[in-house]
Amino acid sequence: MRYLKALLGNLLVLIVFVPCVNAHTEKDLDAQSFIDIATRTTILEIKTAKLALLKSNSADVKAYAERMLDEQQAVLNSLQNFAQVAQITPANGAAFNDKQLRAGGVAPWLEGEKFNQVYSKRRLEERKKLVALLQQGLKSSDVNVRSYAKSALPASLQQLYLAQQLPVDNS
Residue 23 lies in a domain: no
What are the residues whose beta carbons fall under 8 Å from the beta carbon of 45, sequence distance 6 or more?
A: 68, 72, 123, 126
Ordered per-residue pLDDT tens for the chain, 171 residues: 554 444 445 444 444 444 444 443 457 889 999 998 898 888 888 888 999 999 999 999 999 999 999 999 999 999 999 999 889 887 765 445 555 555 555 667 788 899 899 899 989 999 999 999 999 999 999 999 999 999 999 999 999 999 999 987 654
In a domain, 160, yes or no: yes
Looking up residue 105, the CATH number of its domain turns out to be 1.20.1260.10
Question: 9 in a domain, yes or no?
Answer: no
Q: For residue 12, is it within any domain?
A: no
pTM to 2 decimal places: 0.74
Count of domains for the chain: 1
Residue 24 lies in a domain: no
Residue 5 lies in a domain: no
Q: Is residue 22 part of a domain?
A: no
